[in-house]
Amino acid sequence: MKKQILLVSLLIISVFVSNAQPKDGGIDAKMLEQLRKGYTASPDQKAVKNALASNSIATLAINGDNLAMCDTHFSHRVKTKGVTDQKSSGRCWLFTGLNVLRAKMIDKYKLANMEFAQNYCSFYDLLEKSNLFLQAIIDTRSLGLDDRKVDWLLKNPIGDGGQFTGVANIIMKYGVVPKEAMPETYQSSNTREMRKFLSLKLREYALALRKAESDAAASALKVSQLTEIYRFLVECVGVPPTEFEWTMRNRKGEVVSTEKYTPKSFYEKFIGEDLENNYIMVMNDPSREYGKVYEIEYDRHMYNGENWLYVNLPIERIKELAIASIKDNTAMYFSCDVGKYFNRERGTLDLANFDYESLFRTTLPMDKRERILTHASGSTHAMTLIAVDLDENEKPRKWMVENSWGKTSGYRGNVIMTDEWFNEYMFRLVVERKYVPQDILDMYKQTPIMLPPWDPMFAPEK
């Protein structure tokens, strides 16, 4: 009944507003007078206005009927230890990818804890992204500055954000090291100033490359530019080790071995997976046809690396893959629109956390497809999917992810989401091939549909 009354009221208002609409499409005095009738200073309007004067919208929209902490029991949970912290950086994609591998190593070798050096991978990620940008500028030298692709490149020279193909390409090329071998620095943990300066230099370099006499001259110039960038990165985050010594200890703290490694030999010994071929990426994007494979141009971390390529699936098929992986004690790379209905204090993602509709006496009727098409929602943050709670019919009630915002964030460093929230704001999942049915694997045989780099759904996860 309340919704019917609201719709009738909106219809009446729309008639008045249409009559007041000036022919030139602007706001004239007559229309402004009509708009002013939207605020009548009624008691309920004044109460909300007064409350908003000194409180955040999120605080006032908290749903008082949903204050109790949700049940924290999960029927199936991957064995993990420790929570990482990306601090003031946009490296969630990297922390998530490394956390998936870390859980495997800890479980396989019965370690008390361990952490890979995110800073090591970050160094090469920024170097490779710099080369990707500069080479893309060389490739588009014949296009004008007002060309949409060139304009997009100059708007997005480099950033912290990324996705799983970056994790795979960087690790398979450069290996990994334990955190002790290349710890974080202030700049690696607080990347805004470093990224801002690097972006400025890359744009400067782009203009120089476009002015070069030939592609060959531009390529030679690029090498000198990258040399300067390498020096800048070393000064900010340190020298990436080419060899190091590491002592492995068991859960009792006893020394198991002390050996020397290179980054690649360390990866081969303790992980040894082919990250570029052992995983598939799936997406739930109802704005596009399901069962099709999509690829995003320039959505990669290195010039000769792989673009983000995924098969678009209904949400129920994605849940099947996730449940199979969790049941087999295997964590997954997972991304979503984390800012929607997120109670940070409790660490819960629940559509009932906030009641914006009652606060502003309106409705929010857009579905997932409409939110994507209007830029209202998209994948913004990656976390490690580690748990699901299934009912007696094997249907999920809720899920849990390990976050990378420190152990005091959310629920013991984790985030719990209801299955209803999962349906609306989950977007990407990376899963091992062995958990994927053959019909989905067969979909990957299609020729991918190429999407432009400015597609609204594919901003890097941060």
> Looking at the structure, do residues 396 and 375 belong to the same domain, yes or no?
yes
Residue linked to tokens 């304009």: 151
> Looking at the structure, do residues 227 and 317 belong to the same domain, yes or no?
no
Tell whether 344 is covered by a domain: yes
In angstroms, the Cα distances linking 253 to 15, 112, 286, 442 are 75, 7, 49, 46
pLDDT by 10-residue block (mean), the chain, 462 residues: 49 52 87 95 96 96 90 95 95 97 96 96 98 98 96 96 96 98 98 97 98 97 98 98 97 95 98 96 97 96 95 98 98 97 95 96 97 94 98 97 96 97 98 98 96 82 86
Tell whether 37 is covered by a domain: no
Rounded to whole angstroms, the Cα distance separating 215 from 209 reads: 9
> Looking at the structure, do residues 306 and 240 belong to the same domain, yes or no?
no
> Looking at the structure, do residues 285 and 372 belong to the same domain, yes or no?
yes
> Looking at the structure, do residues 298 and 414 belong to the same domain, yes or no?
yes
Tell whether 64 is covered by a domain: no
Task: Count structural domains, the chain.
Answer: 2
> Looking at the structure, do residues 235 and 284 belong to the same domain, yes or no?
no
Predicted TM-score of the model (pTM): 0.93
Q: HEC profile for the chain? A: CHHHHHHHHHHHHHHHHHHHCCCCCCCCHHHHHHHHCCCCCCHHHHHHHHHHCCCCHHHHHECHHHCCCCCCCCCEECCCCCCCECCECCCHHHHHHHHHHHHHHHHHHCECCCCECHHHHHHHHHHHHHHHHHHHHHHCCCCCCCCHHHHHHHHCCCCCCECHHHHHHHHHHHCCCEHHHCCCCHHHHECHHHHHHHHHHHHHHHHHHHHCCCHHHHHHHHHHHHHHHHHHHHHHHCCCCCCEEEEEEECCCCEEEEEEECHHHHHHHHCCCCCCCCEEEEECCCCCCCCCEEEECCCCCCCCCCCCEEEECCHHHHHHHHHHHHHCCCCEEEEECCCCCEECCCCEECCCCECHHHHHCCCCCCCHHHHHHCCCCCCCEEEEEEEEEECCCCCEEEEEEECCECCCCCECCEEEEEHHHHHHHEEEEEEEHHHCCHHHHHHCCCCCEEECCCCHHHCCEC
- Are the C-beta atoms of residues 344 and 362 closer than 8 Å to each other? no
Domain boundary among 247, 270, 293: 270
> Looking at the structure, do residues 306 and 377 belong to the same domain, yes or no?
yes
Tell whether 148 is covered by a domain: yes
> Looking at the structure, do residues 205 and 263 belong to the same domain, yes or no?
yes
- Are the C-beta atoms of residues 368 and 377 closer than 8 Å to each other? yes
> Looking at the structure, do residues 304 and 446 belong to the same domain, yes or no?
yes
Tell whether 80 is covered by a domain: no
Tell whether 431 is covered by a domain: yes
Write the burial class of residue 111 (CB in 10 Å: 0-12 exposed, 13-18 middle, 19+ buried). middle
Is 55 in the active site? Answer: no
Amino acid at 201: K
107, 203, 198: which is closest to 155 by C-alpha? 203
Rounded to whole angstroms, the Cα distance separating 302 from 281 reads: 18
pLDDT score of 460: 81
> Looking at the structure, do residues 173 and 288 belong to the same domain, yes or no?
no
Tell whether 36 is covered by a domain: no
Is 277 in the active site? Answer: no
Tell whether 191 is covered by a domain: yes
Q: In 10 A of CB 338, how many CB atoms?
A: 22
248, 267, 245: which is closest to 257 by C-alpha? 248
Which residues are registered as beta bridge partners of 273?
none
Range of the domain at 407: 275-458
Domain boundary among 270, 290, 317: 270
Rounded to whole angstroms, the Cα distance separating 130 from 202 reads: 7
> Looking at the structure, do residues 308 and 248 belong to the same domain, yes or no?
no
Q: Looking at 70, 92, 121, 236, which residue is catalytic?
A: 92
CATH number, position 246: 3.90.70.10
Domain boundary among 228, 243, 270: 270
Is 381 in the active site? Answer: yes
> Looking at the structure, do residues 338 and 423 belong to the same domain, yes or no?
yes
In angstroms, the Cα distances linking 371 to 61, 116, 367, 368, 379 are 20, 36, 6, 5, 12
Q: Looking at 70, 99, 343, 381, which residue is catalytic?
A: 381
Rounded to whole angstroms, the Cα distance separating 92 from 147 reads: 31
Q: Looking at 169, 343, 403, 414, which residue is catalytic?
A: 403
